[in-house]
A and B are shown apart, each in its own frame.
Chain A
Amino acid sequence: MNMKTRIIALLAVAVLAGCATTQRTSTYPPTGDQGVEQPTPEPRGQSSQLPERNTPEVSRGETAPAGPMPPRSADEASSPAVRSLLGRADTLARNGNMDMAASTLERALDLEPRNPFIYQRLAAVKLAQGQPGQAEAMARKSNSVGGNNPFVRADNWQLIAEARRTAGDSQGASEAASRAENYHRTSLQLSR
């Protein structure tokens, strides 16, 4: 698979997956004992990579999303206006018009400046434009504005992994990939 096909495939998976919640559940079917009622979800994904040296018992941050379910997709997180711009940007990106896709996403960002899904799509577009540095920056920004949302973070780290691979940083890429895997597991737990 050459670079371009890989990037397009990634765009399709990591970004368009956000278009529909149903699509995501079918792509990543939940595993494990389904009939059993789960206790309050306790994602531990990130704590495994972030060693807590001193006082783990007071660091509430790592057990954070115990409250309402964080948005899993752009559809859940966005207003109709932003959804329509995202739809347009996706079409433009699928047709290979990355400049206009980016421009359309920036319009969306003006409307919802802290919507992590917009930054995530921008990251994918930057990757497709052959700008892995910008792609990683956008994906990290998406993490930053998205708060502790494992759905967003799993896709972002996947994008970062791909960006680093593109930039020739294979070690960084596999670190990012394992972070993506951890967040992905957390998000699966949450989804149940």
Chain B
Amino acid sequence: MARKTPKPRRPARRPAKKRGGKPRRGFIRRLLPYVFLLFCLGAVVVAAYAVYLDGEVRTQFEGTRWTLPAKVYAAPLELYAGLDLSREQIADRLKRQGYRSASTTDKAGTYEVVGGYLDIHTRPFSFWDGDQADREIRLGFDNTGVASLRALDGNGDLALIRLDPLMIGSIYPTQGEDRILVKLGEVPPMLPAGLITVEDRDFLHHWGVSPKSILRAAVANLRAGHVVQGGSTITQQLVKNFYLNNQQTLVRKAKEALMAILLDAHYSKPEILEAYLNEVYLGQDGGRAIHGFGLASYFYFQKPLEELQPNEIALLVAMVKGPSYYDPRRNPERAKTRRNLVLDMFHDAGFLDDEGWTTAKKADLGVTARSTRSTSQYPAFIDLVRRQLHGQYADEDLTEDGLRIFTTLDPSVQADTEARVNQGLADLERSRGIKADSLQSAAVVTSVEGGRVLALVGGRDAGYAGFNRALDARRPIGSLIKPVVYLTALAEPSKYNVITPLDDSPLAVKLANGDTWRPQNYSKTSHGRAVPLHYALTHSYNLATARLALDVGIPNVIDTLKKLGYTGDPLSVPSLSLGAVDMAPMQVAQIYNTLAGGGYYTPLLAIRDVTTRDGEPLNRYPLQIKRVLDEAPVYLTDWIMQRVARFGTGASMYKVLPDRLNLAGKTGTTDDLRDSWFAGFGANRLAVVWVGRDDNQPAQLTGATGALQLWTRIMSDVGPRGMMNVPPEDVVEVPLRMRFDPRGGASTGDGDLYQYAQSCGGATDVPFIRGYVPDGLSGCDSDIMSENAARDRQQQQQQREQDEGNWLQRIFR
């Protein structure tokens, strides 16, 4: 207002113009051809520019119009009689996937609770193995879960059916656009009609620009004193989104108008409208721009466009005007006011009847909850997917070709695991007086057979795409290595079985660099020279384990570690036997998955299938198994790990988990209580949990007081099945009465550790590798074990007396 400096100058120029305005006649006549020439030249330039623009408009519109990020899907939920999910759990899952509770299930994407039943109208979906039509089904329940499944639609019987999978993310370039293409003929008619009503009433009649609208907008803006209405047609908006940057200049406006006219001349109104539906910007999710109504429908409502209700369509149409200003998650009141205004316009235009209008206005916004700072709800898992795809697909394939990636993520397991990690850490900090928010954690859950990654938690705030601890936090694994040591020993059945007495007396090993390694037990005491092998692992004795590892040879332990699936190259040092090797939780999960799988290695996979955007199969990730170890020693090791869970360092799990479940596991604790680990499994599920601090300061937690507490709660959610304990072909079981007591025990010389107990009662079935059952384990009165113990004591004594250099020789042979 104060700055109107140019104005006073103008009058000063006028005289000059006037001078030019009164030329002599002859001069004008002489000038005319030039003016004409200039005009012609201008016309040619404009025409040439138009031709150029025309080319640009057409190439863009007709070529590959959009790059399409790869879509990532969770594993679909299989519904069948026998599924152990309650009606509430399934209804929760349906809600999470945007299914609508309705009074009839005549439309796909709806469900209804009728009596004790759950009726569902599933969505049609193109899976990697073909199309699945939508079906109307009825689930019956009993107290264990789904008891019956039948079809209500008369299209044939069903034994099982998959729900459409949850879309869990897309792989788009940094600062990229994300979209899901829709076809005009397949969207609810209210959407295009509503868009025209609200954004561009003359759309069907104008030539790309609408002078009438511009005039109307100008008048409205003048009246209001500021911009309240835009005069842009849908075509102009498309041009602006499509071809131009956001600069508000006159030149750009003119270019926009010219391009809009060209576009309108070349293409039909439906084509333009369809492009608009797919191009319009409707929100921002971190670095990801939400383009088009197809993706917006998922982003805000977690369901396909076809299923949107009038209030939801109106909200999206309302947001076109200013997606961030009317963001329903951040500014719900503002969004609702504008939505209702749009609903009024729908009603006035006549495609929403009175009843629909009043219902829609009463409805809440209906947007699903979503963390505002995240780029995806599952950043850690998507990170794993990207890494597993890396090397097979170029970045452009993933961000431009619209590939469909079907993963193994189980959204329920993921949600439960995240919740348990968050709650568990907070509880630990509170109950143990640890500074709030100082602990961190990572967790992996897999299906034992098949090695599918069901859930991956990369940190305390699982929605935050930061440091992925499950994959990248490599920490010493402590006692998690011990089962590998014992497995290595048990693979030599002529030397070791589960009741072999081990020496748990103090140990000093001279290292190659001149230092002496003196490991200690957690309790700082020795447990004598004849601790049964299974007992030493059950209670995680360091001295017995270190001596055992040195006896079998550290290189052999490393060899077993690699067979189990570890790909690193650890240092061959004595301290490896107590876990001086750094691993990420995912690597631990791989190793333990092989233990859980009975010695069959299955690479852990996050991906099942990749198809093109049209559903053509591109890549399967089939189940691969490899027999890496004999089943018998693995069975023996798993048997001991069940004792860890039952009687040893993992026993507190049965405060939460049902006593009847046979689970196996191992605690891990590192020096000064820096890292707390637990890895364990049942017959079908495996979980690995790490708890510690990012700054590597002591977390003040052992494996049992920290990670196990989280593990137990995670496991209680994921439906573990107990281990069956069917011995493999070459394992026999002998009923024995176990009599070891670490306080008295063999060290006092009365080491009658075991009794054969077929008719003695109180016996445990102890597994041995066939052909290697110790001599004489055949009667209640046998004292063979004490003889064995004595013999082994003698041998240990001899070994101890040997020069320490011999230890080294054996280690580094």
User: A-side interface residues toward B, CB under 8 Å?
Assistant: 46, 50-55, 57-62, 79-81, 83-85, 99-100, 102-104, 106-107, 109-111, 113-114, 122, 134, 136-138, 140-141, 143-145, 147-148
Contact = CB atoms under 8 A, between A and B. Distances in A.
Interface residues on B, range: 35 or more
Contacts of B729: 46, 50, 61, 143, 148
B121 to A, nearest CB: 20
B82 interface: yes
A61 B626 CA distance: 25
Interface stretch (B274-282, B294-302, B378-386, B730-738): B730-738
A103 B609 contact: yes
Nearest to A118: B449
B625 A138 contact: yes
A148 B780 CA distance: 28
Contact of B80 (A51, A54, A81): A81
A145 B452 CA distance: 18
A137 B626 contact: yes
Contact of B731 (A61, A79, A102): A61
A141 to B, nearest CB: 5
B81 A61 contact: no
**Would you list the 6 A-B pairs with minimal beta carbon distance, nearest first?**
A81-B80, A59-B732, A84-B159, A147-B726, A113-B449, A81-B160
Given A103-B608, A113-B449, A141-B598, 8 more contacts: A50-B770, A54-B771, A54-B774, A79-B81, A84-B159, A106-B450, A110-B447, A136-B627
A99 B683 contact: no
Nearest to B776: A55
Contact of A61 (B129, B448, B600, B733): B733
A107 B623 CA distance: 11
B334 interface: no
Contact of B159 (A50, A55, A83, A143): A83
A144 B128 contact: no
A122 B623 contact: yes
Contact of B448 (A113, A122, A137, A147): A113
Given A54-B775, A84-B159, A109 B623 contact: yes
Contacts of A143: 728-729
B78 A59 contact: no
Contacts of B617: 99
Given A50-B730, A52-B770, A58 B778 contact: yes
A67 B267 CA distance: 77
Contacts, number: 127
B320 interface: no
A55 B770 contact: no
A95 to B, nearest CB: 13
A106 B623 contact: yes
B763 to A, nearest CB: 12
Contact of A109 (B128, B159, B450): B450
B12 interface: no
Contacts of B452: 110
Nearest to A107: B78
Interface string B435-454: 00000000000011110100
Given A51-B771, A61-B731, A81-B159, A113 B447 contact: yes
What's the dominant secondary structure at chain B's contact region?
loop
A113 B620 contact: no
Interface in B76-133: 78, 80-82, 128-130
A81 B146 CA distance: 12
Given A50-B730, A110-B450, A104 B129 contact: yes
Contacts of B778: 55, 57-58
Nearest to B635: A144
24 contacts: A52-B770, A53-B771, A54-B772, A54-B773, A54-B775, A58-B734, A58-B777, A59-B770, A61-B770, A62-B732, A80-B80, A80-B160, A103-B128, A103-B608, A104-B129, A106-B608, A106-B622, A110-B452, A113-B447, A113-B684, A137-B600, A137-B626, A140-B627, A144-B598
Nearest to B158: A84
A58 B777 CA distance: 8
Interface in B353-405: none
Interface string B217-240: 000000000000000000000000
Given A109-B450, A113-B449, A113-B450, A58 B730 contact: no
A114 B727 CA distance: 14
Which of A122, A136, A140 gathers the greatest number of chain B CB atoms within 10 Å?
A140
Contacts of B626: 137
B609 to A, nearest CB: 7
A111 B734 contact: no
Given A110-B447, A113-B450, A147-B726, A59 B773 contact: yes
Interface in B759-813: 770-775, 777-778
Contacts of B600: 137, 140-141, 144
Contacts of A55: 773, 775, 777-778
A57 B623 CA distance: 40
A82 to B, nearest CB: 8
A51 B770 CA distance: 8
A114 B683 contact: yes
Interface string B733-752: 11000000000000000000
Interface string B691-735: 000000000000000000000000000000000101111111110
A140 B598 CA distance: 11
Contacts of B771: 50-54
A134 to B, nearest CB: 7
B60 interface: no
A113 B683 contact: yes
A54 B778 CA distance: 11
A178 B724 CA distance: 28
A58 B773 contact: yes
A61 B733 CA distance: 7
Contacts of A141: 598, 600, 625, 627
B732 A58 contact: yes
Nearest to A103: B129
A81 B129 contact: no
B637 to A, nearest CB: 15
Contacts of B624: 134
A99 B609 CA distance: 11
B459 to A, nearest CB: 28
A141 B724 CA distance: 15
A61 B632 CA distance: 13
The CB with the most chain B CB atoms within 10 A, among A50, A110, A140, A147, is that of A110
B631 interface: yes
B172 interface: no
Interface string B596-638: 0010100000001100000001001011111100010000000
A52 B772 CA distance: 9
A145 B727 CA distance: 10
A88 to B, nearest CB: 9
B28 to A, nearest CB: 84
Contacts of A136: 627
A54 B774 CA distance: 8
Nearest to A149: B726
B541 interface: no
B756 A81 contact: no
A62 B770 CA distance: 10
B734 A79 contact: no
A52 B730 CA distance: 10
A110 B608 CA distance: 12
Given A81-B160, A113-B449, A134-B625, A60 B732 contact: yes
Contacts of A51: 771
B269 to A, nearest CB: 43
A104 to B, nearest CB: 7
Contacts of B756: 58
A109 B78 contact: no
Contact of A81 (B78, B730, B777): B78
A81 B726 contact: no
Contacts of B609: 103
**Which of A55, A109, A148 has its CB near the most chain B CB atoms (within 10 A)?**
A55
